[in-house]
Amino acid sequence: MALPPPDPQFVLRGTSAAVHTLHFSCGGQEPDVPILFSGSENGFIHVWNLKTHRVDVALDGHGRKSVYCVQTMGGKDRLLSQGRDQRICTWDLAEGRTSVTDSVFTENVGFCRCSLLKVAQGRWLMAMAAKATDEVQVLELPSKTSVCTLKPEVGAKLGMPMCLKLWQLSCGSQPLLLAGYEDGSVVLWNLSMGKALSQLVCHQEPVMSFDFDSEKAKGISGSSEKVLSIWSLDEQQNLQVYKTHKLVNAGISDITIRPDKKILATAGWDHRLRIFGWKKLKPLAVLDYHTATVHCVSFSDHKNPSERLLAAGSKDHRISIWSIYSQT
């Protein structure tokens, strides 16, 4: 008999709004406490202390407009956040400061999360949906100089970009961008040429989220349908459908592959988290706690594997924290 699905290890309450994005920062050395950043619909970014399970500080920088993307740049002291106020802000949180150091006006009205890639010490590339509905713009941070703008060919009708991921095969090699579009396709872009290398229609509906494993050159995407699509990238940099996986309930809002590439988690509109083995997409667990759509799911980057966690944020205002490492 299979073990009953586990309960959350802890539930964080107090955002008083739907939670849209989560990001762990647990990599610090000992006196540093592990931290979870959450962005919620009321425009606040909460900094959760994972030792006390309490909010250390709440950041207010997006004019009370929904925050749907939070990422760290290096340590936990530099934060990047994106909100529905069409701004991407960088924060300085060192020594208790809570100030916005810089911001980019995206002029984009969608809710496509931006993607960050560290290219050198103190230099990042950031891909974001641009003002024109179907364009993606890549900037260099912190200088904010535009690297390129990726426009689909005329008549491609991809629609708005929905989700982005910058990646590179190895450190120093050519950065690439994967983007999921409104029409259900995933496109691989070459940044230096500003040209699409490959396009694959994965879904009939907009791609809500995807994650890509550059080691196995395999990605997985979800949409509002009842299906997960797994696709691969061959040597010639062509995207191909690898397989699809049927789901019981429709609607996936977030997909994340665990950093060790062994399992992945999906956040479902059916209020549930699902855990799959990454290799064969074997369903491992259904985590049922939330009482509304789960918006985001994130794995922690703690050095000690036994302390690594999974967090999910939901429309029900709660963030559930799960410890599933020991079981997988």
Partner 1 sequence: MAVFDTPQEAFGVLRPVCVQLTQAQTPENVARLQARLAAVGAAALQELQEYVLFPLRFALRAPGPRRERLAQSAVRCVSAVLAATRVRRPELLRELLSELSTCLPAPGGSGKPAPQAEELTLAAIEALHTLLHSAHGDVVLSLYQPATLPLLGFAVSSLLGLAEHEKAKQIKISALKCLQVLVLQCDCQEHRHLDADEAQQCGDLFASFLPGISITLSRVITGDIKQGHKPTVSAIRLFYLIVGLVMADAQLARVPKSREKLPAEQSRISELMVHRGPDWSKSTAEKLLLLLRKIVEFCSVHPHWKVRLELVELVQHLLQNCSQSLVDSFSHLLKALVGLVNDENPEVQKRCQEVLQGMAEQGMVAQNRALADVLSENLHSLATALPRLINAQDDTGKVSTLSLLLGYLKLLGPKVNIVLNSMSHLQRLSKALMQVLELDVTDVKIVEDRGGGSASPCGPVGSLARRSQRKYFRFFTEEKVFQLLQQVCRVLGYYGNLYLLVDHFTGLYSESGVYRKQAAMVLNELLAGAAGVGVDVLQEREVSPNVDDLKGTITSILDEYTDQANWYLVTSIDPEEISHERSVQHSKFTAHPGGACSSVLLPSPEPPTTTRTMNSNIWQICIQLEGIGCFATVLGREFRLLLLSALYPVLEKAGDKTLLISETALGTLADICEACGYDSVQSLINENSDYLVNGISLNLRQLTHQLHASQVLDTMLRHSDASLLPLVDDVIQDVLAALDQSYNHQAPAFLKVLHSVTAALDEVLPCAKLDPNSSDTEGEAPLPSHAQLAKDTMERCIHLLSDGHLRVRLQALDVLELCVTVLHPHGNHLLPLAHRAWPALVTRLISDDPLAVLRAFKVLCTLAQWCGDFLRQRFSRDVLPTLTSSLRSQAPASARAGPIYSHTLAFKLQLAVLQGLGALCQRLDMGESDLNKVADACLIYLSAKQPMKLQEAAQSVFLHLMHMDPDSTWLLLSEICCPCRYRPPHASLRPVQLPGMGRQRDEFTDNVLGLLERLRQQESTEPRAGAHRDPPP
**Shortest CB 215 distance to partner 1, Å:** 36
The verdict on 307 binding partner 1 (CB under 8 A) reads: no
**Shortest CB 229 distance to partner 1, Å:** 33
Both tokens of 109, joined, read 């009205």
> From CA 267, how far away is CA 237, in angstroms rounded?
29
Show the site string, 245-284: x = touches partner 1 by CB under 8 A, - = not. ----------------------------------------
Q: Which of 10, 111, 167, 269 binds partner 1 (CB under 8 A)?
A: 10
| Options 4-12, 39-47, 61-69, 265-273: segment touching partner 1 (CB under 8 A) | 4-12
Determine phi and psi for 306, rounding to 5 degrees: -70, -15
> From CA 130, how far away is CA 294, in angstroms rounded?
27
Task: Pick the closer one to partner 1 by CB: 51 or 262.
Answer: 51
Contact 176, 189 (CB under 8 A): yes
Task: Pick the closer one to partner 1 by CB: 22 or 321.
Answer: 321
For the chain, first and last CA: distance in Å? 16
**Shortest CB 323 distance to partner 1, Å:** 13
The verdict on 14 binding partner 1 (CB under 8 A) reads: yes
The verdict on 304 binding partner 1 (CB under 8 A) reads: no
Task: Pick the closer one to partner 1 by CB: 130 or 294.
Answer: 294
Task: Pick the closer one to partner 1 by CB: 55 or 156.
Answer: 55
The verdict on 13 binding partner 1 (CB under 8 A) reads: yes
Number of residues that bind partner 1 (CB under 8 A): 12
**Shortest CB 19 distance to partner 1, Å:** 14
Residue 271: partners with Cβ closer than 8 Å, 6 or more residues away: 288, 290, 291, 292, 293, 294, 314, 316
Strand arrangement, sheet containing 195-201: 161-168, 175-181, 185-190, 195-201
**Shortest CB 208 distance to partner 1, Å:** 28
| Options 3-11, 145-153, 254-262, 296-304: segment touching partner 1 (CB under 8 A) | 3-11
DSSP three-state, residue 305: helix
**Shortest CB 318 distance to partner 1, Å:** 8
In terms of Cβ atoms closer than 10 Å to its own Cβ (0-12, 13-18, 19+), residue 166 is buried
193 alpha carbon, distance to own chain's centre:
26
Residues 26-65 that bind partner 1 (CB under 8 A): 51-54
**Shortest CB 33 distance to partner 1, Å:** 10
**Shortest CB 134 distance to partner 1, Å:** 41
Task: Pick the closer one to partner 1 by CB: 29 or 52.
Answer: 52
Residue 117: partners with Cβ closer than 8 Å, 6 or more residues away: 124, 125, 126, 127, 166, 167, 168, 175
Omega before 142 within 30 of 0, i.e. cis: yes
As a 3-state breakdown, the chain gives helix, strand, coil percent values, each rounded to 5, of 0, 55, 45
**Shortest CB 155 distance to partner 1, Å:** 49
Q: How many CB atoms are closer than 10 A to CB 291? A: 11
Strand arrangement, sheet containing 319-322: 10-12, 319-322, 310-314, 294-299
Q: Which of 11, 100, 156, 250 binds partner 1 (CB under 8 A)?
A: 11
Task: Pick the closer one to partner 1 by CB: 53 or 65.
Answer: 53
What Å distances lie between residue 58 and 25, 31, 98, 104, CA to CA?
16, 21, 9, 21
Task: Pick the closer one to partner 1 by CB: 113 or 271.
Answer: 271
Please give the residue ranges that form the binding site for partner 1 (CB under 8 A): 7-8, 10-11, 13-14, 51-54, 289, 317
